[in-house]
Amino acid sequence: MSRITKILICFLILVSCENEQINNVSPQTGNGEFLSAVDLSRFPEISNTSPTFFDLEGNEKEFLTILKENGVNTVRLRLWVNPVDEHSGFNEVKAFSQTLRNRGFKVWLTLHYSDTWADPGQQETPLQWQGLDFESLKETVYNYTAQVINEIEPDYIQIGNEINSGMLHPYGNITTNYQNFLNLLQEASNAVRDNSEDCKIILHFAGIQNSDWFFNQVSTIDYDIIGVSYYPIWHGMSLNNLKNAMQSLSEANDKQIIIAETAYPFTLEWNDWTNNIVGLEEQLILPEYPATELGQSKFVRAIKTITQELEKGIGFCYWGAELIAWNGNQATNASPWENQALFDFSNKALPALEEFKIE
């Protein structure tokens, strides 16, 4: 065999290998994994009622096993500073995170930097932190974030939850104290970087409207991943708009991107007496995605496909996967979400759960 022939053969083998890698590439998170995630923040509380769950074939099976067998690889949990009870507090989240890690799930924490819900409508400073001067608050944010990293060791961490309006109001209100907001964000980011080489930082914005403006405002912050919430009831009925906005955000900021929260109903019926958030046909994307088991499954498949097709898309997270009517069918203070959970009113896994598998 001539030397030229040998060189040609080597070249063809190299090209073939590169093409094979390109054809089989999937969005990367830095560790090569596409995130098929669910938020299970309330599961420790729900599990206290000892509900029975069933897989897609109707066989009784342990809850986390059902999720794992259907492709869920990451679990998202909220963390409150000093909640009124133990739920979503440090000790509960730390213990549940260890359980999840032992079962093979990656852990994604959402630091609300609040004692209760933080979202675009409220970002209430923890009671214990109120009244601090700003330098003391920055130090507190750093130390708290460092403690979370060192003791819980998440794989992913959100600095704040849906921080459209800032965080730790009034200190970090993006409208009235913009520079302070940036300082608080960077202090939390520093705590992550100083205490972990692997944990990825997510900044989380609710919706897509004005998201380009927001991420331009935080362009000086050291973070890894753009997170956006998408619920049709609040963020528009067009999945094309969602995809285009995510692609634009990712390109403009040169960041990986993930759908940090989404959900969709499999029915408009109720299974307890707690008012459901979604219950009207006008809140749906019709006719493509009706409130049926098939409609919910198609919606999850579409969300997964959108993130897979983005150049820097790395996954999606389904919010409230566990929010069955756990407190009985007459409870008035339980689940506003049982018609959007990933289990039906008999606690049987829904077909949408199969869409979490990545082929």
**Distance of alpha carbon 196 from alpha carbon 190, whole angstroms:** 10
Domain assignments of the chain as residue spans, ordered by start:
34-356
Percentage of residues of the chain with pLDDT beyond 90: 90
pLDDT at res. 108? 98
Which of 149, 150, 130 lies closest to 140 in space, CA to CA? 130
- The pTM of this model reads 0.91
Overall fold of domain 34-356: TIM Barrel (3.20.20)
Per-residue pLDDT at 201: 98
What pLDDT does 83 receive?
98
C-alpha pair distances (Å), 272 with each of 49, 64, 259, 275? 15, 24, 29, 8
For residues 162 and 208, the answer to whether their CB atoms sit within 8 Å is no
Query: For a pLDDT cut of 70, what percent of the chain falls above it?
Result: 91
Tens of pLDDT, residue by residue over 9-31, are 344 334 343 443 333 334 455 55
pLDDT value of position 5: 42
For the chain, residues with pLDDT lower than 70 are: 1-32
Which pLDDT score is estimated for 359? Answer: 76
Q: What is the pLDDT of residues 271-296, one digit of tens each?
A: 999 999 999 999 999 999 999 999 99
pLDDT, position 12: 39
The chain-wide mean pLDDT, for the chain, equals 92
